[in-house]
Chains A and B, each alone.
Chain A
Amino acid sequence: MITKLDKEFIRTLARDGKRENGRRFDEFRPLKIELGYAKNAEGSALVTLGETRVLAGVKLSVGTPFADTANEGVLMVNAELGPKASPEFEAGPPSAQAIELARVIDRGIRESKCVDLEALCITPKEKVWIISVDIDPLNDGGNLMDAGGIAAIAALYNTKIPKLDEDGRPMFGTDAGRLKLRKIPVPVTIYKIGSAVVMDPDFEEAEAADARLTVTSVDGFLCAMQKGGTGNFKSDEVVRVVESAYGKAAELRSAIKDALGI
């Protein structure tokens, strides 16, 4: 929560083309990615985007496939907004915000088809790898959606598939090869503050916003979108916002590739 006065201040600045943090409307905060931050996860990444810090961890297990995708591994994305990351968050079952965060990131990864799920099949109809991506924000400094999406994809990139023992059980800590990513989906969320549209808001800016639109894309394609907030976008504004998010994602993708060493 921010005060009415702070909100008005941010909105007035935005109307005049300014931000309190001095950034341009389409300027992201410095992005840092640390791979392998959580040693007991099969893959992990800590993403720092200004004050926002999100840790993502990937755990693998062997399980049975879904009946309708009998030759494919299973991918699940979960997010918990624990009180450690913000005084706004409450302990207990996942809030609507946490569910949305997980589902939007999940759709971005799934729909981009960046993970070859068929390659995660061990025995058709019987045994497949189950990939759980858990998103754990350590500090909510705004824009958890983009930081979380980048953390998830970086953690997947960092994932090592364990070897299986004679009984087909995974031997954690062993390395049978990296999980291969075919593409790098990148979410970019655009926030509408009055008539201005800004990217990568800090916490106060996100609180002052009327609406947001998350656009996840890969090279050449959009793969997932989600509008949130009680304000709206004009229909021609949606098109402009999607175009700029798509352009920004390309820029971020090369920064992410640099950080991952691709």
Chain B
Amino acid sequence: MMAEESKKLITGGRRIDGRALDEIRPMAARTGVIARANGSAQFAMGDTVAIAAVHGPREMHPKHMQDPVRAYLKYTYAMAPFATQDRVKPGPSRRSTEISDVSRQAFNSVVFLEEYPKTGIEVYVEVLQANASTRCAGINAASMALADAGIPMADLIASCSAGKVEGQIVLDVAGEEDTEGEVDLPIAYIPRRDEIALLQMDGLITLEEFKKALELAKQGCIKIHETLVDALKEKYRHIELSVSSARSEDKEDV
């Protein structure tokens, strides 16, 4: 009992890593991290790091999966064998198969698949380092990678989790909150349409707490969305600069 009390996860409104209840871990987002891929990105929230590559649109294999009116979106979520404390056996697991499938469905609603009939758009996500909310980090990386590949989308999907820890609703579950906490609620959100594209939940939560957690997760997604947009703009900053400097040179000529 004493041991449990000394391991309190929330003290005076602060969490074990010092965050406020509604605070996301520090984020790092970067595009164009894999030169050979058509689009790529890396997204980190705290110690959770995911990298994503997009290949295609290209000819769809296997051929029987070709759709004459739209592209087939393939989404593979995997964990690097060294991403967690215990080594992860390479290859698909039941967990990764499910995460891949729900993530694929989430992206299906934003990517303009009709623009590329018969092709396959392949998204490969790998969690390089895991500290909770890995499917969320994966989706955020994939979102940027798809945009980086120049594939038209209705919006960037942003993903974040909320949870219940020691009876309190918190944003972006991490560390011991994931293993010791009561509830995990990862969502993916499309800000422009106010739509929920992915929602999973496990743990005991009341209806009122759920409403609060969903709203908090949504607000988290909106913040993450801004980070993703900034990271994508960063890629074009040097082009903007060179264009504006070229323009000012033109003026000098006149």
Contact = CB atoms under 8 A, between A and B. Distances in A.
Interface in B63-109: 94-95, 97-98, 100-102, 105, 108-109
A234 B105 CA distance: 16
Contact of A235 (B185, B194, B207): B194
B218 interface: yes
A234 B194 contact: yes
A121 to B, nearest CB: 20
A252 B200 CA distance: 22
A112 B204 contact: yes
A99 B94 contact: yes
B72 to A, nearest CB: 12
B197 to A, nearest CB: 5
Contacts of B205: 221-223
Of the four ranges (under 10, 10 to 19, 20 to 34, 35 or more), the interface on chain B belongs to 20 to 34
B207 A232 contact: no
B199 A226 contact: yes
Contact of B189 (A235, A239, A243): A235
B109 A226 contact: no
Contact of B203 (A223, A235, A238): A223
Contacts of A191: none
B98 A221 contact: no
A227 B210 contact: no
Contacts, number: 92
Interface string A206-249: 00000001000010111111111111111100110011001000
Given A228-B105, A231-B109, A232-B193, A222 B206 contact: yes
A242 B199 CA distance: 12
Residue from A100, A222, A233, A242 having most chain B Cβ neighbours under 10 A: A222
A222 B218 contact: no
A104 B109 CA distance: 22
Interface in A100-136: 100, 102-103, 107, 110-113
Given A99-B94, A224-B202, A238-B214, A230 B109 contact: yes
A107 B202 contact: yes
A96 interface: yes
Contacts of B97: 96, 99
Of the four ranges (under 10, 10 to 19, 20 to 34, 35 or more), the interface on chain A belongs to 20 to 34
B33 interface: no
B211 A239 contact: yes
A221 B193 contact: no
A151 to B, nearest CB: 20
Given A99-B94, A234-B194, A235-B214, A242 B105 contact: no
B190 interface: yes
A113 B204 contact: yes
Interface of B: 94-95, 97-98, 100-102, 105, 108-109, 185, 189-190, 193-207, 210-211, 214, 218
Interface of A: 94, 96, 99-100, 102-103, 107, 110-113, 213, 218, 220-235, 238-239, 242-243, 246
Given A103-B98, A226-B201, 7 more contacts: A99-B97, A112-B204, A223-B205, A224-B201, A225-B200, A232-B196, A239-B211
19 contacts: A99-B98, A103-B94, A222-B205, A222-B207, A222-B210, A225-B202, A227-B198, A228-B105, A229-B105, A230-B105, A232-B109, A232-B190, A233-B196, A234-B195, A235-B196, A235-B218, A238-B199, A242-B210, A243-B207
